[in-house]
Amino acid sequence: MTDLAPQSQEGWDYIDGKFIEPQISVAKQLANIRFERNRLLAERDWTQLPDTSLTDE
C-alpha cells in the first residue's frame, strides 16, 4: 500500500527503521545534464561572440 499524502514523496524506502532517499539512476542524471546543457546553449546570445576564422589565415 502506498501513502499518497500531500507531504509524501515517491521513491523513498524505509529499511531497518531509517528512511533512505531515492537514488537517481546514472542515465537519468545524464539526461538531466544534457537537457540543462542544451537549454543553456539554446538561450545563449550567439551575436555577442567574437568572429573567428575557421581556416588558418
* DSSP letter for each residue of 9-38: -TT-EEETTEEEPPPPPHHHHHHHHHHHHH
Distance CA 34, CA 28 (A): 10
The residue extents of the domains of the chain are 13-44
Give residue 1's pLDDT band: very low, low, confident or very high (50, 70, 90): very low
Question: What is this structure's pTM?
Answer: 0.46
Q: What is the mean pLDDT of residues 25-40?
A: 91
Distances (CA, A) of 49 to 41, 54, 55: 13, 14, 17
Note whether 48 and 56 are within 8 A (CB): no
Give residue 34's pLDDT band: very low, low, confident or very high (50, 70, 90): very high
For residue 50, pLDDT beyond 70: yes
pLDDT at residue number 31:
94
pLDDT at residue number 56:
65
